[in-house]
Amino acid sequence: MSSPALPAVAVDGVSKTFRLPHERVHTLKERALHPMRRMGHEAFPALRDVSFAVDDGEFFGIVGRNGSGKSTLLKCLAGIYAVDRGRIYVNGRMSTFIELGVGFNNDLPARDNVMINATMLGLSPREARRRYDAVIDFAELREFEDLKLKNYSSGMEVRLAFSVMMQVDAEVLLIDEVLAVGDAAFQQKCFDEFARIRREGRTVLLVTHDMGNVQRFCDRAMLLERGSIVELGEPDRVAARYLELNFNRGETDDGTPRDESDAGRYGDRRAEIVEAWFEDEAGERAKTVPTGQRAAFCFRARFREPVADPLFGVVLADDRGTPVFEASNVLLPACGGFAAGDEATIRIAFDCVLSSGRYEATPAIARGGSGVAWIDRRERFASVVVTGARSTDAVLDLPFDLEVLSRERR
């Protein structure tokens, strides 16, 4: 049992730096041709002098943009990474849901994995056997209990790992919600469990990108940015600060205001949208496009830093500001990485079924993965006038057939 006098988790001046190789040797041939080439390392501080304490029974949220150090912190807490400086105290038995595959053996069936995992997390073999049914039923994997883990889908593995974590009755739970990628029904079940463990007064450290969950579940939350704590306290305040940082309205990374032309521009600017235009059916740049024909929206991006698999997209809005069309590569195969200095032109072709009027385009580049991380989003950056033979109050001018099917004279 944890002692009431001590916090459940105390983190005192923790720093963690990764050493990243400067230069990659991609092939054996390169290594053979340049045997003396020095690999050089760059120090990358992922956590900088982080100190906080979580009280016994507290539900504590950890938020921050991609790469801000949340997972590194959880892994340090779980003992997966050694810290470079500082100390971590965990008062009570800890159970984690922070990385898939850890503690699981792919060549064993789910049944054995549950038993091994539960004993690793502190249950006696007898207690683990007693809890087994609850684990497998919560995960809804009864039919698959004898299937080897290597034949599980990643969603099934997530369910199993989450169920084990919930059933071992640890006093401190470390949860990376990003891992809970099961289907919608399972996610709801996870949220119900969050509510239950909150009621039970267990200590939870939850990494999330969902500010709704911060406000719903957390007693307190902490915002990390570039490995440092920038806000710690009331969930509402932390959530508001996170949104401010993430959408970066009107400020550069160092907090200085951007110039006037940057109004309505968000993102960390690892890449920039430098130009945008519309094209007509013939592929010519155009200020007007006729309704009923193919048209395209294009934009040019310049990368200032390396970005892997960026998302590109656009929203078109009518003159009342109502979004009428959205397109992106979010459901398409990943487009690969871009290096600093690379440029890319993105062309989104579509059937122009919009009714006549002016439409404004908001193009965006974002980073995929968990949560929304804008790289550059430029509101109403380009516009086009759609011309049509008829005027209508509707947003769309879809082709249609109208027939008078019968005529009866009385």
* Interaction of residue 61 with ligand ATP, rule CB under 6 A: no
Nearest distance, CB of residue 23 and ligand ATP, angstroms: 15
Retrieve residue 145's tokens.
Answer: 């209990």
The packing angle between helices 110-120 and 154-167, to 10°, is: 40
Residue 122 has what DSSP assignment? T
Interacting residue with ligand ATP among 69, 182, 235, 292 (CB under 6 A)? 69
3-class secondary-structure state, position 13: strand
Query: How large is the C-alpha radius of gyration of the chain?
Result: 27
Q: Which is nearer to ligand ATP, 18 or 132 (CB)?
A: 18
Contact 365, 373 (CB under 8 A): no
Q: What are phi and psi of 319, to 5 degrees?
A: -70, -5
- All residues at 6 or more sequence positions from 35 whose CB lies less than 8 Å from its CB, including other chains: none
The residue range among 70-78, 150-158, 193-201, 349-357 that interacts with ligand ATP, by the rule CB under 6 A, is 70-78
* Interaction of residue 117 with ligand ATP, rule CB under 6 A: no
Q: Which is nearer to ligand ATP, 305 or 319 (CB)?
A: 305
Q: Which is nearer to ligand ATP, 8 or 224 (CB)?
A: 224
Give the closest residue to 297 by CA, choosing from 352, 358, 365.
Answer: 352
Nearest distance, CB of residue 16 and ligand ATP, angstroms: 8
| Cα-based distances in Å from 68 to 45, 190, 245 | 10, 25, 12
Interacting residue with ligand ATP among 64, 235, 310, 363 (CB under 6 A)? 64
Nearest distance, CB of residue 220 and ligand ATP, angstroms: 18
Nearest distance, CB of residue 344 and ligand ATP, angstroms: 22
Q: What are phi and psi of 25, to 5 degrees?
A: -100, 110
- CA pair distance 351, 296, nearest whole angstrom: 8
Nearest distance, CB of residue 364 and ligand ATP, angstroms: 18
* Interaction of residue 71 with ligand ATP, rule CB under 6 A: yes
The residue range among 28-36, 63-71, 104-112, 253-261 that interacts with ligand ATP, by the rule CB under 6 A, is 63-71
- CA pair distance 293, 309, nearest whole angstrom: 31
Nearest distance, CB of residue 405 and ligand ATP, angstroms: 59
Nearest distance, CB of residue 381 and ligand ATP, angstroms: 27
Interface residues for ligand ATP in 4-33 (CB under 6 A)?
18, 20
- CA pair distance 256, 278, nearest whole angstrom: 33
Contact 365, 273 (CB under 8 A): yes
Size of the site for ligand ATP (CB under 6 A): 14
- All residues at 6 or more sequence positions from 163 whose CB lies less than 8 Å from its CB, including other chains: 134, 135, 136, 138, 139
Q: Name the one residue in this structure whose structure tokens are 């994995």.
A: 113
Interacting residue with ligand ATP among 52, 60, 68, 175 (CB under 6 A)? 68
The residue range among 65-73, 295-303, 309-317, 327-335 that interacts with ligand ATP, by the rule CB under 6 A, is 65-73
Interface residues for ligand ATP in 345-374 (CB under 6 A)?
369-370
Binding site for ligand ATP (CB under 6 A): 18, 20, 44, 46, 64, 66-72, 369-370
